[in-house]
């Protein structure tokens, strides 16, 4: 059994510096640490050995054994022990739950998905299902809850800094986030956050917003939701309500917070029902396949009626982007989520419709390349950030796998 580290207030700062360096490189020597952190050689070596003793680092074969030795005494080489613990990212949507387990370097080990009956799950059942999906993903990865260092769950609701959602007039937010921060108390580091905010984390980490400090990520499938980043910080608000789109109920030309996918489906169903799309391939689709994705696919294939719906979506998106631009002054707006896979034509139509008489320059508008799992990707990135910041605060003798 390994010895625990000193408490956060007592441990040397060199431990944190060396671990932070280890997370950024595949392997390193004391010389690398000295150059990267400014620590002295004895201090660097002592910290490296201490972190290896508790299982966060492991010592690699020296340069002679690794076949890279030329002359002189071979340097000791260390690396972050990626399998020392796992991270869990969860997208707990309205109709689906996806949980992904990764190692400490965010390399995926397993993913498990569960489909829900929309609007029929009570809070207790939903909480149990989310926990069960996490446990199934851990089992698929050959791990258990005791191996988890950090978990992050994204939900379609406002979430405050404490991981709790405010009351909703119809109870929707409480049902989407049924005390999850308490249900996850078994995890040393846990976070519950808004799904659109986590999509913004994902886009900033590995997506279209890398290197950008002012941007908005727009989840636009079933409902509009925005993750807002200003000066490099994800905005939250008192109740977690930054990015809630109910205000668009009062914006002419937008009218509701319905997402682009939901609008495309509704307009296609209406066109088929009224006979307006009688000559379109839309009319030949069974009702259960007449959804937003089908509209976008047919539009890309040249269907005239589907193309008209895409143009309408572009007008709506342009208005949404204009309002977001005037409110938050972003450099970039990224359309993310499942709808983003076929949204290129809508984005192009929106760019052509963006007003030219705004007081501020219109933001750049792009489609995400991260696909359906953007929220899970953001949840893993958030869990990894928590792990990097607090691993040494929670790591102890009982946590290190043997």
Residues 190 and 222 in one domain: no
The per-residue pLDDT for 377 is 97
Examine residue 131 and state whether it is found in any structural domain, yes or no: yes
Domain count along the chain: 3
Mean of pLDDT over the chain: 90
Predicted confidence (pLDDT) per residue in 321-378, tens digit: 999 999 999 999 999 987 777 789 999 999 998 877 677 888 999 999 998 999 999 9
pLDDT confidence tier of residue 214, bands split at 50, 70 and 90 = very high
pLDDT at 193 over 80: yes
Residues 174 and 266 in one domain: no
Supply the CATH number for residue 46's domain: 1.10.10.10
Final residue of a structural domain among 80, 100, 121: 80
Residues 287 and 164 in one domain: no
Domain assignment of residue 18, given as a range: 13-80
How large is the average pLDDT for residues 91-105?
95
Q: Which residue has the tokens 């079933």?
A: 222
Position with higher pLDDT, 223 vs 209? 209
Examine residue 402 and state whether it is found in any structural domain, yes or no: no
The per-residue pLDDT for 1 is 24
Please state which of the ranges 138-147, 180-189, 290-299 shows the lowest mean pLDDT: 290-299
Beta-carbon count within 10 A of 64 CB:
11
How large is the average pLDDT for residues 124-149?
96
How large is the average pLDDT for residues 160-166?
95
Final residue of a structural domain among 80, 108, 123: 80
Return d(Cα 164, Cα 160) in angstroms, integer: 6
Examine residue 400 and state whether it is found in any structural domain, yes or no: no
Examine residue 6 and state whether it is found in any structural domain, yes or no: no
Residues 155 and 44 in one domain: no
Examine residue 224 and state whether it is found in any structural domain, yes or no: yes
The per-residue pLDDT for 4 is 44
Return d(Cα 257, Cα 251) in angstroms, integer: 10
pLDDT at 204 over 70: yes
Examine residue 399 and state whether it is found in any structural domain, yes or no: no
Residues 256 and 238 in one domain: yes
Residues 261 and 290 in one domain: yes
pLDDT at 209 over 80: yes
Position with higher pLDDT, 245 vs 188? 188
Examine residue 3 and state whether it is found in any structural domain, yes or no: no
Q: What is the pTM of this model?
A: 0.90
Return d(Cα 59, Cα 27) in angstroms, integer: 9
Residues 241 and 340 in one domain: yes
Position with higher pLDDT, 20 vs 395? 20
Please state which of the ranges 7-11, 58-62, 92-96, 341-345 shows the lowest mean pLDDT: 7-11
Residues 220 and 359 in one domain: yes
The per-residue pLDDT for 118 is 60
The per-residue pLDDT for 328 is 94
Residues 76 and 95 in one domain: no
Examine residue 401 and state whether it is found in any structural domain, yes or no: no
pLDDT at 65 over 60: no
Supply the CATH number for residue 200's domain: 3.30.420.40
pLDDT confidence tier of residue 386, bands split at 50, 70 and 90 = very high
Residues 313 and 355 in one domain: yes
Residues 259 and 295 in one domain: yes
How large is the average pLDDT for residues 263-272?
94
Residues 236 and 339 in one domain: yes
The per-residue pLDDT for 253 is 86
């Amino acid at each position: 059994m390994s010895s625990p580290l000193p408490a956060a207030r007592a441990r040397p700062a060199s431990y944190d510096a060396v671990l932070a360096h280890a997370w950024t490189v595949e392997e390193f020597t004391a010389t690398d640490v000295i150059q990267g952190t400014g620590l002295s050689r004895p201090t660097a070596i002592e910290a490296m050995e201490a972190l290896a003793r508790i299982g966060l680092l492991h010592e690699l074969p020296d340069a002679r054994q690794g076949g890279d030795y030329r002359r002189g005494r071979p340097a000791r080489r260390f690396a972050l022990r990626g399998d020392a613990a796992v991270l869990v990212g969860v997208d707990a949507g309205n109709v689906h739950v996806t949980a992904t387990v990764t190692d400490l370097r965010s390399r995926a080990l397993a993913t498990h998905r569960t489909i829900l009956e929309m609007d029929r799950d009570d809070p207790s059942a939903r909480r149990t299902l989310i926990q069960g999906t996490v446990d199934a993903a851990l089992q698929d990865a050959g791990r258990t809850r005791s191996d988890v260092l950090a978990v992050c769950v994204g939900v379609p609701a406002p979430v405050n800094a404490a991981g709790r959602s405010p009351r909703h007039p119809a109870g929707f937010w409480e049902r989407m986030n049924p005390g999850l921060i308490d249900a996850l108390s078994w995890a040393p580091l846990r976070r519950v956050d808004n799904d659109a905010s986590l999509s913004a984390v994902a886009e900033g980490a590995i997506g279209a917003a890398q290197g950008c400090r002012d941007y908005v990520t727009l989840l636009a499938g079933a409902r509009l939701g925005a993750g807002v980043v200003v000066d490099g910080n994800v905005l939250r608000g008192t109740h977690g309500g930054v990015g809630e789109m109910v205000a668009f109920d009062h914006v002419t030309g937008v009218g509701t917070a319905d997402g682009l996918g939901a609008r495309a489906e509704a307009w296609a169903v209406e066109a088929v029902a009224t006979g307006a799309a009688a000559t379109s391939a839309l009319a030949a689709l069974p009702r259960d396949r007449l959804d937003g994705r089908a509209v976008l696919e047919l539009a890309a294939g040249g269907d005239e009626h589907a193309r008209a719906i895409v143009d309408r979506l572009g007008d709506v998106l342009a208005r949404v982007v204009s309002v977001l631009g005037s409110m938050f002054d972003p450099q970039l707006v990224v359309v993310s989520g499942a709808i983003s896979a076929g949204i290129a034509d809508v984005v192009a139509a929106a760019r052509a419709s963006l007003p030219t008489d705004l007081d501020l320059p219109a933001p750049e508008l792009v489609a995400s390349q991260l696909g359906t799992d953007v929220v899970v990707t953001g949840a893993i990135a958030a869990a990894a950030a928590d792990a990097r910041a607090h691993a040494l605060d929670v790591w102890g003798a009982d946590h290190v796998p043997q």
